Structure formats: structure tokens, C-alpha cells
Structure 1
Amino acid sequence: MAMYDRFAFIYDSLMSDIAYDKYAKWVQASAPVSSGKRLVDIGCGTGVLSVQFAKAGYDVIGVDLSESMLTIAQSRSLEQGVDISFICQSMSELDGLDEIDVAVIAIDSINYLETFEEVKQTLKLVFESLTPNGQLFFDVHSLYKMDVIYPDGPFTYEDEQVAYIWHTEVGEEAHSIYHDITFFVQDESGYYERFEESHYQRTYPLESFTDLLKQVGFSNIYVSTTVFDEQDEEEIERYFIHATK
């Protein structure tokens, strides 16, 4: 499972094209802010969304498995003048959360769970933590992205300070992929430091997610493909899912 140790410190620069503001607006449109509304940002990473939600008026808790990510998230919240509680936990082992009004698992974080049982356990624990009529928002990779886009590697990226070569390999399990990324990061002296990260992701048919939500107890399940931008129906890369307890 990815821990994002050294990667955490360049994560934001590589994710600068993610429309976090659109994601936040999607959540707020169905779960408007009210006094004392508690929101948990699961897989919060460096806290970009957590801070946006806190500024909007939610009482935010951020959860992530990576201590390095949470260190940056804590610094970001302090710099932005918002009070957020951060917890280092795996999403499939959530503990100590209750009376949650809104749960968010953003930017394909749930695809880092290695087994379907872990997905089920995560959704079950989220359901249990929510108040009646509490809402869950998350997104997942499509089969098209996992089976067609990702295997078409390697991918490369370069800017003034960071470059990477991203190799992908199809996993043994259906709709899974191994990501092996070699980074070159320029330090203050102008030299480039090399390090490597290995990640694994797995997804499932959309119906598997929606059926599992129903099994856990969720209702009013809605699927969108347009939270970020319009997607071609035959080339959908990401599904956005909203469900209510």
C-alpha cells in the first residue's frame, strides 16, 4: 500500500491540475454547510480539500495513512488559519469517528485498497460513523482508465524542478495496476536527487460499488461523470458517487 513518504513533499506540485474547487462545490451542493456540521476527509493527503472545507464552514477531520502527508496538511491548515484535526489511520480501519455528517474519499483514494473486502470494510465503517441522513462522496477509476489508459505507459513529466518517468504494469488481479515512478527533484544547489515510489491500485465495475453501497445500507445513490469536466461516454475515466445513510 502506498505510503507517500518522500513523494508527499512534491505531491502538490504534481497535483496542481486537479480541480479541487469543483470537488468541494460538488460536495457543498448536496451537503450545504450548517453550524457544527462535521466532515471527515478520508485520504486527505496534504490537506488541500480539508482546508477548503474548513474555510467553507465545516468542522473538519482529516484522515490519512501517511504521516508525511499529514505533516504537510497540518502545516497548511495552520498557515491558512483553520482548525482541523488530523488522524493517521488506514481508511479500512477507521476508528473513533462518530456523529459525522459528511464523509469524503477524494481523488481515487479508495482505489488504493488492495482487496474488495477492504473496500467493503471501509464503506461499512463510514456508514457506521455517519449520522442519520449523513452523506458520503467519493470517486473511483473506471475500468477504461485501469484497463486501457494506464497500461499505455510509460508516461513522463517535466517542469523546472521535478521530472518523472512513470512505468505501469498490469496486476494479477482484474482491473489492477502497478505504478513504478522514478522522480528527479532539483535541490537548492541545482542538483537533481533521484528516488522511486511504487504504488498499486485496483478498481471494479461501477455496479460493484453501487451494489456494495446498498448492501452496507446506503440509499439514494447517484453517479456523476461531470464533476470535473464532461467525459465521453465511451471513454469515462472517473466516476463520482454520492450516497446517503
Structure 2
Amino acid sequence: MIYQGFAYIYDELMQDAPYEQWNDYLLTIISRHGNGGNKLLDLGCGTGELSLKMAGNQFVVTGIDLSGEMLSVAQNKALENKKNILFLQQDMRSMNGFQDPFDVIMICCDSLNYLKSEEDVQDTFQAAYQQLSENGLLIFDVHSLYKIHEIFSGSTFTDQNEEISFIWNSYLGDEPNSIEHDMTFFVKQGTTYQRYDEIHQQRTFSIEQYKTWLEATSLDVLEINSDFEPASSPHSTTERVFFVAKKSI
């Protein structure tokens, strides 16, 4: 999914997102398993919230995303916060052109779930492997099967404030374990409201399937965690599954 006009209201809608929990989880995992390097690649970086946090943690950060509008917002935020972050418009499935390998590659905020085919996910793992340094880490999170089928499917989410109102309907997609989010936003502009319509498609796979693909790419699975808890394992009501893998030589 390439965000369009939605990019400019994304941060307002995501103001309650648990970015601090992502930040704490990433720092814990990198401290536990990292190779000591500080070059980090943020795949599907969006408007750069986590890129900024990791830059503030003394990482040398590069962020890539398919959406030029998202990247424009991210670059403006980096300038405002005086952070030197390189943002590039690239596809995570075929990223290339980097001069040096990365010590950490992260795919956060379920960005990997926007890849709709098995081949897309495998291509992304292979591309990440190629860009990782020796003993470099790949860290990512995805929606669980439970979240797709029991929380998203058939649900309607609504919210409103003085600036933005939205209606968000989710329903199962055509592909197995996929979900479609049909979203309508009304954004205040002066004395009127501008309407934005977006359809976002996501797909997830079983934990065992992700593990099989990682291992087939010579990425050793170090941890599989539940809902931001670096000491926990996924269970029947886990909503977000975290994977930690290391490039094996």
C-alpha cells in the first residue's frame, strides 16, 4: 500500500500508537543480541517516528518506504528535530545501492503485513540478508492469526475530535489470513471538512511459516515474542508477534 493524501494525517491518527514500547523492545533486543554496530535500516519507515527514536539512541539510521509522501513528512520531522537520517524511496523486496551493510534491520508497525504474497515476504527476507553485516539482526513484527480473524474481521472502529473523524471497517480478504481495511476520514480544513478514502490490504502467515522462510534464508531465529514482551512467547490471544533473527555466516 502506498499512502496518498493519508500520509499527512497519519501522525494525528497514530498519536496513541505505542512507539515507546517499540523503542524499548528494540533496545532490549539489540542489547541482548546485537553485534555492537550502530548502522540501522528502518524498512517501511512511514513518517519516521521510530527512525527518529533510534537516531536519538545513537544509531546511524537509514529509512526506506514506498510512499514519497510519507518520506516527505519523515524528512521534515528529521530536519525539525535536527536528526541526520537518510530517507530513500525504495521497495523492501528489492532494496539495493547501499554502500555499507547494516547491523540492524527493523520492520515495525506491521509493515511486513502489507506484502500480499509468500514470494514477497521471502524476497524481503532475502534482501534483508544481503544488506546485513556479519551477525546482524533482523527484527520485525506482524499481526497474529488471532488478530486477523478475531479482532479485525467484521469489526468497525470509529473516532472523532475537532480536527479528524474516521470510520474504519475491516473484513476478511480473498487471500488466506488477509484483511481489508476500508477507511473514510474527514479532516477539518478551515470551516469545512476534506474527505479521504483509503483501502488497506494486509496479510499474515503462521509463526511456523515465517520461521521456515527465515531459516531458508540462512537467518537464525533467536527469539519469537508476544506483544512487546522480550521475555514472553506467543500464546492463543497474542495480537502482535515479534521475530528476532541473526544473519548466519
Same-fold call, TM cutoff 0.5:
yes
Match of 2:125 in 1: 123
Match of 2:7 in 1: 8
Q: Does the residue aligned with 1:91 lie in a helix, a strand or coil?
A: coil
Mapped pair 1:21 → 2:26: no
Mapped pair 1:104 → 2:106: yes
Match of 1:241 in 2: 243
Mapped pair 1:219 → 2:220: yes
C-alpha deviation, 1:18, in angstroms: 1.6
C-alpha deviation, 1:180, in angstroms: 1.2
RMSD, aligned CA: 2.0
Q: 1:34 to 1:121 in 2, by over 3 A?
A: closer
Percent identical pairs in the alignment equals 37
Q: Does the residue aligned with 1:144 lie in a helix, a strand or coil?
A: helix
Match of 2:158 in 1: 156
Mapped pair 1:208 → 2:200: no
Residue from 174, 177, 184 that aligns with 1:175: 177
What CA deviation, in whole Å up to 9, does each residue of 1:4-54 have, x standing for no partner?
Answer: 111111111111122212212222223249986210000000001001111
Q: 1:30 to 1:228 in 2, by over 3 A?
A: closer
Structure 1 unaligned segments of length 5 or more: list them: none
Q: Could you tell me how far apart the structure 2 residues matched to 1:234 and 1:17 are?
A: 25
Q: Does the residue aligned with 1:29 lie in a helix, a strand or coil?
A: helix
Q: 1:228 to 1:44 in 2, by over 3 A?
A: farther
Comparing 117-126 with 213-222, greater Cα deviation is found at 213-222
Q: Could you tell me how far apart the structure 2 residues matched to 1:19 and 1:164 are?
A: 20
Q: Could you tell me how far apart the structure 2 residues matched to 1:36 and 1:108 are?
A: 25
TM-score (norm 2): 0.92
Give the total of aligned pairs.
243
What CA deviation, in whole Å up to 9, does each residue of 1:82-114 have, x standing for no partner?
Answer: 100001011112112341100000000000001
Q: 1:233 to 1:162 in 2, by over 3 A?
A: same
Match of 1:133 in 2: 135
Q: Could you tell me how far apart the structure 2 residues matched to 1:232 and 1:63 are?
A: 29
Q: Assess if the C-alpha contact under 8 Å between 1:210 and 1:221 holds in 2.
A: no
Q: Does the residue aligned with 1:95 lie in a helix, a strand or coil?
A: coil
What CA deviation, in whole Å up to 9, does each residue of 1:48-94 have, x standing for no partner?
Answer: 10011111101100000000000000000011111000010111121
Q: Does the residue aligned with 1:31 lie in a helix, a strand or coil?
A: helix
Q: Does the residue aligned with 2:93 lie in a helix, a strand or coil?
A: helix
Q: Assess if the C-alpha contact under 8 Å between 1:23 and 1:228 holds in 2.
A: no
Q: Does the residue aligned with 1:61 lie in a helix, a strand or coil?
A: strand
TM-score (norm 1): 0.93
Match of 1:37 in 2: 38
Could you tell me which amino acid in structure 2 is paired with residue 79 of structure 1?
E
Q: 1:160 to 1:18 in 2, by over 3 A?
A: same
Q: Could you tell me how far apart the structure 2 residues matched to 1:25 and 1:53 are?
A: 10
